[in-house]
C-alpha cells in the first residue's frame, strides 16, 4: 500500500469474483473457498486501498461487463447496461431503491443469461453490497 493508506479490500478471482474486506483474506483460495465468500475465479487479485470508493470499483467492473457483452441474449445485453447505470447512480445520487434494484437485476441475469458473462455479474455486486454496503448507502463516490 502507498504510504498513508491502508488495505481496504481485495477483488478476488478477477472481474467476476468477489469484493472482500481484509477480514476474509485468511480464507484459503481453492474450489471450496466460494462457500466462505471468497471466489477463486480466474485467480486474479486486485488489492485496493482506502482511497478507492467501492461504488467506483463496482462501476468500473460493470462498465467492463457492459463492454464485453456480445449482445446475443437480452438479459446480458440489456442487463449489463442497466446494471452499469444503476451503479453510476449508486456512486453519485442514489435513491434508496437503487442498491436493491441492482441486486435484483444481477440475480435475474444470473438465472436467465445464456453464457457465463451475464451469469457472473451478480457475484461482485452481491459481495460489494454485503461487505461495503455502507458506502453505497452514502450515495457518493469520487473518482468514477
CA 134, CA 139: separation in Å to the nearest integer? 9
Q: Are 121 and 109 in contact (CB under 8 A)?
A: yes
Residue 100 belongs to some domain of the structure: yes
Q: Which domain holds residue 80?
A: 7-138
Kindly report, residue by residue over 10-40, the tens digit of the pLDDT: 999 889 889 999 998 888 887 887 777 788 7
Residue 143 belongs to some domain of the structure: no
Residue 1 belongs to some domain of the structure: no
**Predicted local distance difference test score (pLDDT) of residue 87:** 84
Q: What is the CATH number of the domain that holds 63?
A: 1.20.1440.230
C-alpha separations of 113 from 23, 32, 87, 122, 134 in Å:
32, 24, 20, 11, 29
Buried b (16+ CB within 10 A) or exposed e, 67-84: eebeeebebbbebbebbb
Residue 132 belongs to some domain of the structure: yes
Residue 58 belongs to some domain of the structure: yes
Kindly report, residue by residue over 60-98, the tens digit of the pLDDT: 999 999 999 999 999 999 999 999 888 888 766 666 678
Give the helix, strand, coil percentages of the chain, each rounded to 5: 55, 10, 35
Q: What is the pTM of this model?
A: 0.85
Q: Name the domain count of the chain.
A: 1
Amino acid at each position: 500500500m502507498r504510504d498513508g493508506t491502508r488495505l481496504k479490500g481485495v477483488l478476488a478471482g478477477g472481474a467476476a469474483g468477489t469484493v472482500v474486506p481484509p477480514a476474509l483474506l485468511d480464507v484459503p483460495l481453492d474450489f471450496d473457498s466460494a462457500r466462505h465468500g471468497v471466489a477463486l475465479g480466474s485467480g486474479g487479485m486486485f488489492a485496493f486501498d482506502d482511497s478507492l470508493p467501492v461504488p467506483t470499483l463496482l462501476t468500473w467492473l460493470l462498465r467492463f461487463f457492459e463492454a464485453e457483452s456480445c449482445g446475443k441474449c437480452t438479459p446480458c445485453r440489456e442487463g449489463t447496461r442497466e446494471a452499469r447505470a444503476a451503479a453510476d447512480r449508486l456512486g453519485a445520487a442514489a435513491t434508496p431503491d437503487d442498491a436493491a434494484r441492482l441486486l435484483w437485476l444481477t440475480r435475474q441475469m444470473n438465472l436467465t443469461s445464456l453464457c457465463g458473462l451475464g451469469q457472473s455479474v451478480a457475484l461482485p455486486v452481491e459481495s460489494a453490497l454485503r461487505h461495503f454496503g455502507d458506502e453505497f448507502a452514502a450515495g457518493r463516490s469520487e473518482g468514477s
